Chain A
């Protein structure tokens, strides 16, 4: 007998899913081009936030998530501009390069423990910006120009619409990767570590190995996102991957709800990007409103927007997480 509560209205759920799918596919034709641009950025950022959330779940609060994004973007940009490598090779290259760098760094810093890890990531974020800024090989403070756009045959990705579909596909891919992982024994171990690392260790879960896995997998997807970001923007400066960006990505995750490992980052990124844009009507008061919104969300939606919705709507999206047991 299945003791778990059956989800209410399965058909309604599929209907909603199909509707959302259709909406996502037709969206670039329904909204102004500028909003397509926002959605592309939000999509790419949501992948990064997913990586952030998976690291957070195993007790690694990283302030270098934007740095990982930047590493992915810079690998792709350099491979494209100096070596002339095609985008479709740059994409896996930067994902694997970022994962490799994360693996090496992770071997050293994950063992150091929660707070130390946090502090080192802060310094790492600073080192990345300074290093890229000061080394002219990496473009320096002026940044890298002329990253070649992706092509399929004779089709060149230039328009927002084409990038929208590329991003949509990538977000779907990363969501699927994370969905499969969270459903697998690996995900169960991650959740166990997130709820109580001591308890998880006592039942024989190798904390270091699972943390490293989460760290490297997150870096892999973030690298994918970074590669598309580089080719989409055609132009990179180190300052766009500083610690402030990491903190904003953290806020996106919190706004969506970090208990929702996949939907949360997507909803959070899209919402915050749109809110930031809508608040531009406030002209120079926009940052004040934005700050107010962030403070209000922090005070009113402790579990994010999705956490405030009734459970029967978010059923299946929620991944249980003992928030109070987080290791910080």
Chain B
């Protein structure tokens, strides 16, 4: 229930910020960055004011432990993986529909998509809403395994940005694969490499971006002079 509520709520927030802020600022990238930062400040502090700065521990919906061949796993984590896979499948199926294809066309070339009769404005709205809603769902899902904290936004935003850049803009498949890789490196990097793991990780990211600016699975774009 909470997960669905988070999805719907964040989707509505996304739609609201698109209508009020991002649409008027359309194509003014710098001002959009500024406005996004402003909205971020409002939201984070809004949470701190209403909920407080303390860490919140959310009870899990799937209690219990599972013993499989000598390994003990929390049921919750397995449920998490299954739900994540289901969501990925849903996104994949969605991209196969007409709307999904229109969305992808708008990502690749907005003007060409508009010439084919795609209402690009509605696609932007859709992307904002779906994106926010997914972020909400992901947040709600992950919250029982972490402690929720209002200030956790910036570092995560950077990591997500890196994932998208490496995977390629508009490539959902790439985002899934690179996201998994990033997660693995974050978990095991320290163990195998030591304190410099994050530097090496970001250096690799920089090299990949330099060689393939459109990302590994992205659509190649012309390097602007």
- Report the separation of the CA atoms of residues A328 and B225 in the bound assembly, to the nearest whole angstrom: 11
**A residues less than 8 Å from B202 (CB atoms):** 123, 126-127, 130
> A122 contacts B225, CB within 8 Å?
no
Chain B interface, number of residues (Cβ within 8 angstroms): 43
**Given A258-B30, A284-B49, do A124 and B42 touch, yes or no (CB 8 Å)?**
no
Please tell me if the beta carbons of B199 and A130 are within 8 angstroms of each other in the complex.
yes
Residue B183 at the chain A interface, CB threshold 8 Å:
no
Q: Is A120's CB under 8 angstroms from B41's CB?
A: no
What's the Cα separation between A115 and B34 when bound, in Å? 18
B38 touches A294 (CB 8 A): yes
Q: Contact at B199–A127, with CB atoms within 8 Å?
A: yes
B38 touches which one: A61, A127, A293, A328 (CB < 8 A)? A293
- In whole angstroms, how far apart are the Cα atoms of A326 and B30 in the complex? 10
**A119 in contact (CB, < 8 A):** yes
Tell which of B21, B205, B210 has the most Cβ of chain A within 10 Å: B210
Would you list which residues of chain B between 112 and 157 have a CB under 8 Å from chain A? 154
Q: Which residues of A contact B210 (CB under 8 A)?
A: 108-109, 112, 116, 120
Q: Which of A244, A288, A292, A293 has the most chain B CB atoms closer than 10 A to its own CB? A: A288
Contact with B along A270-312 (1 / 0, CB 8 A): 0000000000000011111011111101110010000000000
Q: Report if B178 contacts A (CB, 8 A).
A: no
A254 at the interface (CB under 8 A from B): yes
Are A201 and B199 touching (Cβ within 8 A)?
no
User: Measured between alpha carbons, how far is A127 from B204 in the docked complex, in Å?
Assistant: 11
A131 an interface residue at 8 Å Cβ cutoff? yes
Q: State A211–B101 Cα separation when bound (angstroms).
A: 38
From A116, A291, A294, B213 is in contact (CB under 8 Å) with A116
| CB neighbours of B31 from chain A (8 A) | 254, 298, 302
Q: Determine if A134 is an interface residue (Cβ-Cβ < 8 Å).
A: yes
Decide: A292 and B213 in contact? CB cutoff 8 A.
no
How far is A297 from B196 in the complex, measured between Cα atoms in Å?
40
The answer to whether A295 touches B39, judged by C-beta atoms less than 8 angstroms apart, is yes
| A interface residue count range (under 10 / 10 to 19 / 20 to 34 / 35 or more) | 35 or more
Decide if B8 is an interface residue (CB 8 Å cutoff).
no
Residue A197, interface by CB 8 Å? yes
B185 within 8 A of A: no
> What B residues does A295 contact at CB under 8 A?
21, 35, 38-39, 42
Q: Is the CB of A134 within 8 A of B205?
A: no
Decide: A114 and B224 in contact? CB cutoff 8 A.
Answer: yes
A75 interface residue, CB < 8 Å from B? no
Q: Do residues B42 and A292 form an inter-chain contact, with CB atoms below 8 A?
A: yes
| Contact segment of B70-78, B79-87, B158-166 | B158-166
In the A-B complex, list the 3 residue pairs whose CB atoms are closest, starting with the nearest. Answer: A291-B41, A294-B38, A116-B213
Residue numbers of A with Cβ under 8 A of B are 56, 59, 61, 108-109, 112-116, 119-120, 122-124, 126-127, 130-131, 134, 197-198, 201, 207, 243-244, 247-248, 250-251, 254, 258, 284-288, 290-295, 297-299, 302, 323-324, 326-328
Please list 26 pairs of residues, one from A and one from B, whose beta carbons are closer than 8 Å in the complex, sorted by A's number.
A56-B30, A112-B213, A112-B223, A113-B223, A113-B225, A122-B158, A122-B162, A124-B206, A197-B224, A197-B225, A201-B225, A244-B154, A287-B44, A287-B45, A288-B41, A288-B46, A291-B38, A291-B40, A291-B42, A292-B38, A293-B38, A294-B37, A323-B28, A326-B30, A327-B224, A328-B29
Task: List 20 other contacts, CB 8 Å, given A122-B158, A134-B199, A297-B34.
Answer: A56-B30, A112-B210, A113-B224, A119-B165, A120-B206, A120-B209, A130-B199, A197-B225, A243-B154, A248-B37, A284-B48, A288-B42, A288-B49, A291-B37, A291-B40, A291-B41, A298-B21, A298-B25, A299-B21, A326-B30
